Amino acid sequence: MTPQLKMAIKLLTLNHLELKDAVAQELVDNPVLEEVNDDVSRATATDVEAPAGSAPPPAEAATEVSIGAGQTQQDAGANIDWESYADSFNYLPPAAGSGRDTQFDDLPGIDQTLTRGETLEEHILWQVRMSHMNDLECQIAARLLGEMNDDGCLDAAPVATPEPAAAAPKNGTDIHADDDEALLADGPPPDAAPTSELEAEAEPVLLADGPPHAAAGARIDPVQLVATELDVPVEWVDAVRRRVMRFDPIGVLARDLRECLLVQLEVWGYDDETLVWRIVDRHMRDAERHNFGAIARDEKTTLEDVGDAMRIVEQLEPRPARNFTAQGSMPDSTYITPDVSVQKVGDDWVILLNEDGLPKLKISKFYLDQLRAAQAAREAGHKLAADPSRTYIKDKKRSAEWLIRSIYQRQRTIYRVVESILKHQRDWFDGAGPLRPLILKEVADDIEMHESTVSRVTSRKYVHTPRGVFELKYFFNSAIQTGDGTNIAAEAVRDEIKRVVAAEEPKRPLSDAQIVKILSERNIEIARRTVAKYREELGILPSNRRKKVF
């Protein structure tokens, strides 16, 4: 495989953002490659806008890279003089939104304005500093936050056998005269005394099997662990934890889901005499299974009362850290920049390649003049000494020409693939029908390329349509045979299942077998396990979990 072919394949697999990074890196590494900052567009600019079904843009510079039998297939423009072409090549006009030729040069860059989200640890520590905790209590709170998991609750951790926790001071003896002076002088924190049934519970229990001083590798209670490390009584650590649990968000540092929800109810004014408290305290397993009849029987109440209580439970937050960035990480977000967009103009569809942010490229005139001067000297009969720098410039010039040519090939290949998809899925784009079954080979045969080339083009690349942003692979679907012998795309079956579930009666949701029967009536014959598979892929719960009792 030639270096040029390797570069063409590499660029073909890159999405828009990765292509921008690759071009920027090549500008750094290759001194012969330059970015043009003026507004003069190249005379032979590639026209990437064309109505679907019309003649393709001029292809005098187009060369298709197809990796099938280890060969490169080239079209009629393969004999073009790429050296001369690269000399005058300016890749892309100024990008829309790039800020060029505007009056905003004095604005701060994105690196000066970009911020990250606040972490839960930072949010809690700010509240700790704003509270009236003394230094030792602040230290305990900060250490407890270190034991918190991504949900905002305490997380048991495997540790070696810890030393026993320090005993509480007896007879007023000051055993921590340095760090704990203020805390011990005033006695245990006021929060150590139980103020409700929730706080009057027994000694903290482990989150896993085994006592606190189990064998090495056992999972130990994080409160016990913090008390051991800071050499303070467990009761003091737990008092600080219970105080922090009432900070925003309520329920942080809870030991488990039950405690997290109960402390929220307590702050809202509910106590153990209320039905909603008892449901969270005793019947969460039945509530999860929607077994509300069992809850009503055990509590000797009506389903209506259980329903009212469950509406309150649904407002509780089981994950206090939900709205915060995880410690040491950025938000788990995926940013998509479409590589191509499809717009309807009149009765035709227009394909627009996204060239926003990509620089214009050209071969450095300075280095070209140096090479041409050396060539002219040789043609005049002058003998030139071997010069390693001249060989280096030639290699970099060749690499720059390959890059420019590969970028052009990539854009042309994407255009042709999207044009073929548009032709095969025209009914879907027009909104006149579902997606039809389509495989890579059909598109490959249509544009006379190899399947592997189409696969590389459609991987991790997105198209913006009037119906939303979709990955190019979305338009390729396996075929499912209908009752009359015709084929329907699997994605169309998923859409049909979504419509069937959306139309069901909430108090009597449809089972998978009933959905199979309804689809059969609509001339779609599939097995129940296929319905279950598609339902799970769509994130639709089973019928017993979708049932609305109230």
Q: What is the pLDDT of residues 121-136, one digit of tens each?
A: 989 999 998 888 999 9
Say what the pLDDT of residue 205 is.
Answer: 41
User: Higher pLDDT residue, 343 or 207?
Assistant: 343
Tell me whether residue 257 is exposed, middle or buried, using C-beta atoms within 10 angstroms of its C-beta: 0 to 12, 13 to 18, 19 or more.
middle
Other beta carbons less than 10 A from residue 299's beta carbon? 16
Band of pLDDT at residue 169, cut at 50, 70 and 90: very low
Q: Which of 328, 329, 195, 318 minimizes the C-alpha distance to 249? A: 318
- pLDDT tens sequence across 7-59: 888 888 888 888 888 888 988 998 988 887 755 444 443 333 333 333 344 33
User: Higher pLDDT residue, 111 or 152?
Assistant: 152
Say what the pLDDT of residue 350 is.
Answer: 93
Say what the pLDDT of residue 302 is.
Answer: 92
Least reliable range by pLDDT among 74-83, 242-251, 399-408: 74-83
| Six token digits for residue 438 | 């389509």
pLDDT over threshold 50, residue 252: yes
Band of pLDDT at residue 68, cut at 50, 70 and 90: very low
Q: Please state whether the predicted TM-score (pTM) of the whole model is above 0.75.
A: no
pLDDT over threshold 60, residue 446: yes
Band of pLDDT at residue 71, cut at 50, 70 and 90: very low
Say what the pLDDT of residue 375 is.
Answer: 83
Average pLDDT, the chain: 76
Say what the pLDDT of residue 351 is.
Answer: 93
Band of pLDDT at residue 81, cut at 50, 70 and 90: low
Band of pLDDT at residue 484, cut at 50, 70 and 90: low
Band of pLDDT at residue 83, cut at 50, 70 and 90: low
Say what the pLDDT of residue 423 is.
Answer: 92
Preceding omega of 542 cis (within 30 degrees of 0): no
pLDDT over threshold 90, residue 275: yes
pLDDT over threshold 90, residue 117: no
Band of pLDDT at residue 327, cut at 50, 70 and 90: low
Alpha-carbon span 400 to 406, nearest angstrom: 10
Say what the pLDDT of residue 65 is.
Answer: 37
| Strongest mean pLDDT among 199-203, 254-258, 489-493 | 254-258
| 3-class SS of residue 544 | helix
- pLDDT tens sequence across 87-115: 555 444 444 444 444 444 555 555 555 55
- pLDDT tens sequence across 356-379: 878 888 888 888 888 888 888 888
What would the mean pLDDT of 321-332 be, rounded to a whole number? 67
pLDDT over threshold 90, residue 235: yes
pLDDT over threshold 70, residue 66: no
Task: Please check whether residue 446 is in contact with residue 378, taking contact to mean a CB–CB distance below 8 angstroms.
Answer: no
Say what the pLDDT of residue 546 is.
Answer: 83
| Strongest mean pLDDT among 32-41, 73-82, 293-302 | 293-302
Task: CATH 1.10.10.60 in the chain: give the residue spans.
Answer: 478-546
Say what the pLDDT of residue 334 is.
Answer: 66
Q: Which of 441, 522, 415 minimizes the C-alpha distance to 58? A: 415
pLDDT over threshold 90, residue 239: yes
Alpha-carbon span 237 to 246, nearest angstrom: 15
- pLDDT tens sequence across 300-320: 999 899 999 999 999 999 999
| Six token digits for residue 536 | 């799970």
The percentage of residues in the chain with a pLDDT greater than 90, rounded to a whole number, is: 30
User: Higher pLDDT residue, 334 or 119?
Assistant: 119
DSSP calls for 476-529: -B-EEEBTTS-EEEHHHHHHHHHHHHHTSBTTBPPPHHHHHHHHHHTTB---HH
- Rounded to an integer, what is the distance from CA 247 to the centroid of its chain? 30
Query: 478-546 adopts what CATH topology?
Result: Arc Repressor Mutant, subunit A (1.10.10)
What would the mean pLDDT of 136-160 be, rounded to a whole number? 83
